[in-house]
A and B are shown apart, each in its own frame.
Chain A
Amino acid sequence: MNSRLINFPSVLLCSALALFIAASPRDGEAQSAPAADPRLEKIDAIRLADRDALVRTKIAQYEGDRLVETAVFDVYISGRDKSLVIARSYKSEGMKILYVGENMWAHFPDTQRPIRITPVQRMLGEASNGDIARLSLSGDYRVDEDVAEDIDGLPCRKLLLSAVRKSASYGRIILTARAEDLRPIKAELFLISGKHAKTAYYEEYRPHDGRMALARMTIRDLIEPAKRTVFEYADIKPVVLPEKYFNKNYLVHFREPEK
């Protein structure tokens, strides 16, 4: 090797690199999630039958009775804090959005690199990024209160949830679930500012792999009441993606896994 390579900045920067690597947390440590509440884990298991799964999500956005836009996304879930969204039928077809813990990146097919995005950047239309990609409550929220309540004669529990991650879609959620099995009925979604922005209705469940899984959810916008977004979880398959799929630098090299 050329002797000019070994000079002061080289030595300095090599030292910095060694310190950088030594001081960095090992893979996986950096993304460690807080301990999950067992009630939320149970609710997650109903909303999403498999912890590592591919969820084909169809979204229809309405204004009044008028269908404004439809879209199809493949959402790969890995554990409580990783998901990868691939736009299959949308204006930005092929767009990929990666969520790992607090971090979010987007990659567009016309570009050569992923970019970091802020939580409020809406890459997926009127639905928030988190509505589509963050299907796990247990990774993002904690239970502050748990109150028994009858709704139309049905014993229910009302859980008051607070965000534990900065990247959580909402600051606070009031989740109403059946007392019998904690199957969610509706969720009142509050922004970080405290404003009650949306209400989600869990409308349809169907059997999946011997259990019931959420099949349809409607989110009604309270700020613009004419708007509603219908989510259909058309297909859920257990898929375990290799770790590299959840590395932001792999987004540009993404190859569709065998489903």
Chain B
Amino acid sequence: MIIPMGAAAGLLALFSLFPRNATVETKAARPSLRLFALARSGLSSFRTTIFNPEGRTIRALGWRSGPLSFLGATAEFETDAAGFRWRIDLQGSARQADDGTWNRDLRLGQFTAQADIGARWILIAGRSIQRWGTGYVFNPTDVAAPEREIGDPENSERRAVGADLLKLEYFGASSSLALCLFGRLETEGGLRLARPRVALRYYRNIRDTDVSLVALFSKDETPVWGINFSRVFGERLEVHGEAAVQRNSYALYHAAAVEGATNVPGTDPFSPFKRGDGRLYVQALLGFQWTFPGGLHWVVEYYHRGQGYAAEEWRRLVDHVEGLQGTVAVEDLLWSLAAYGPRGTRRDYLMNYLQNLSRSAFQWRIGCLLGPTDGSGVVFPEIRWNPPGGFTFFARSFIYLGEAESEFGALPRSWILEGGLLFRL
């Protein structure tokens, strides 16, 4: 971890000297261990070009059709010791590669020490997942969020890895103020920002509306300012929204896409070419949730991102890659979002999500993500069976409806069908 753990330990020790809550003491809970396992396998049929954002290389692999398999296991351990609540999430996974071999990975998803200081404060040090937004899938104000799977925004399959941070938070009766110092922030798209950053969130419930103001400061970039809200109207409707603004774009663009951009052959073609353009870039989201009788839940969100490739820039990039390789395609829409722009190529999305939240053993959900400006999209239906005993069996499909001129990727019509098993203990 880049956060000096010695300093974090020193702060924790300092705060441990504060008087504890006079009204009620937190209980030294028994150690708890939760196990989560996921196995999924399926078939796919799609054209793919592997774009490796780490190495920034592109190589065409042509059509792919065949099985996809993934095994994952997470152990979540919590205990109280020395006046702190300790949490460790250890994630192991194995993914089947194109050549049939398995790529194994072991990661520390979260590792935190939490101290409750008096009646109103907490301090957290370590690796933690922070979610500050009110949107379901897209969160312009999640300035403290690590990279996450858009296909699993709530991280129910335990694939997200937290950010290394030190967080101090004050809680009032209907307000809170959080201050986070990041040693490393891994943003959506896999960009690793090594420089320290500071994030702030001020939350207040104002006349039954949740409102949060957020800000992110760093030495190398202009600040990000954001606001989000959520409110319930009547018995069935919840409305939420988020907006964030930043001067200049720090997204990494390919030199071939940006007019006038140049790069030396043989060097990295990706660079924040718009970091000095002085424009204000806005991300915004507006959405609602509606609860139907019988537990049916409907979420709709419209998301706009000002940063990322404009349509003509995307066209230039496609022309460039096609000139090199004859074709360009991507694994899927969600993957291409992350891969083609380490800070995101998103422009506009309309998300529909329908879920049966009944307590019965069988549940289903269907989601649909559309790029309204280019007609690309993905539909993902899923059914689940939850028999007693901690098991969940699921079957789901991802159906991609890309267009050749798609701003988000030249997606052919492709699909994935997979089934799997979740186990919680």
Residues 83 to 128 of chain A near chain B (Cβ within 8 Å): 91, 100-104, 108-113, 116-122, 125-126
Identify the A interface with B (CB < 8 A).
2, 4-5, 7, 9-10, 13, 16-17, 20-21, 24-25, 27-28, 30-31, 69, 91, 100-104, 108-113, 116-122, 125-126, 166, 192, 239-244, 246-250, 253, 255-259
B359 touches A116 (CB 8 A): no
The 8 Å CB contact of B211, one of A20, A25, A242, is A20
Residues of A within 8 A of B247 (CB): 4, 7, 9
The 8 Å CB contact of A100, one of B205, B215, B238, B280, is B205
A243 touches B175 (CB 8 A): no
B262 CB within 8 Å of chain A: no
Nearest-neighbour CB distance to chain A for B224, whole angstroms, equals 10
Please name the 4 residue pairs, one residue from A and one from B, whose CB atoms are nearest each other, closest first.
Answer: A244-B171, A242-B119, A113-B131, A27-B173
A112 touches B131 (CB 8 A): yes
B230 touches A118 (CB 8 A): no
Whether A241 contacts B23 in the complex (CB less than 8 A), given A102-B208, A103-B205, A249-B178, comes out as: yes
Nearest-neighbour CB distance to chain B for A257, whole angstroms, equals 4
Whether A249 contacts B173 in the complex (CB less than 8 A), given A102-B208, A116-B232, comes out as: no
B232 touches A240 (CB 8 A): no
Residues of B within 8 A of A258 (CB): 24-27
Nearest-neighbour CB distance to chain B for A75, whole angstroms, equals 16
B211 touches A249 (CB 8 A): no
B19 CB within 8 Å of chain A: no
**Residue among A31, A91, A110, A246 having the largest count of chain B Cβ atoms under 10 Å:** A110
**Residue among A108, A120, A240, A247 having the largest count of chain B Cβ atoms under 10 Å:** A247
Which residue of chain A has the shortest Cβ distance to B175 in the bound complex? A27
Q: How many interface residues does chain B have, given as a range?
A: 35 or more
Residues of A within 8 A of B386 (CB): 91
A111 touches B176 (CB 8 A): no
B289 touches A257 (CB 8 A): no
A121 touches B173 (CB 8 A): no
Residues 166 to 207 of chain B near chain A (Cβ within 8 Å): 169, 171-176, 178, 202-207
Whether A243 contacts B171 in the complex (CB less than 8 A), given A118-B237, A258-B26, comes out as: yes
Whether A116 contacts B213 in the complex (CB less than 8 A), given A30-B174, A31-B173, A250-B171, comes out as: no
Residues of A within 8 A of B124 (CB): 253
Which residue of chain B has the shortest Cβ distance to A240 in the bound complex? B23
Nearest-neighbour CB distance to chain A for B85, whole angstroms, equals 6
B53 CB within 8 Å of chain A: no
B291 touches A28 (CB 8 A): no
B172 touches A243 (CB 8 A): yes
Residues of A within 8 A of B134 (CB): 116
Nearest-neighbour CB distance to chain B for A4, whole angstroms, equals 5
Residues of A within 8 A of B206 (CB): 24-25, 30
Whether A239 contacts B120 in the complex (CB less than 8 A), given A27-B175, A244-B171, comes out as: no
Nearest-neighbour CB distance to chain A for B165, whole angstroms, equals 13
A116 touches B238 (CB 8 A): yes
The 8 Å CB contact of A242, one of B23, B155, B210, B357, is B23
B256 CB within 8 Å of chain A: no
Which residue of chain B has the shortest Cβ distance to A256 in the bound complex? B27
B156 CB within 8 Å of chain A: yes
A103, B215: Cα distance in complex, Å: 25
B107 CB within 8 Å of chain A: no
Which residue of chain A has the shortest Cβ distance to B155 in the bound complex? A112
Residues of B within 8 A of A116 (CB): 134, 210, 230-232, 238, 240
A-B contact pairs, 29 of them (CB 8 A): A4-B222, A10-B225, A16-B213, A17-B213, A30-B206, A31-B174, A100-B174, A103-B210, A109-B34, A110-B156, A112-B154, A118-B235, A118-B291, A119-B236, A121-B295, A125-B359, A126-B359, A240-B23, A243-B172, A244-B171, A247-B173, A248-B205, A249-B169, A249-B176, A250-B122, A250-B171, A253-B169, A255-B26, A258-B27
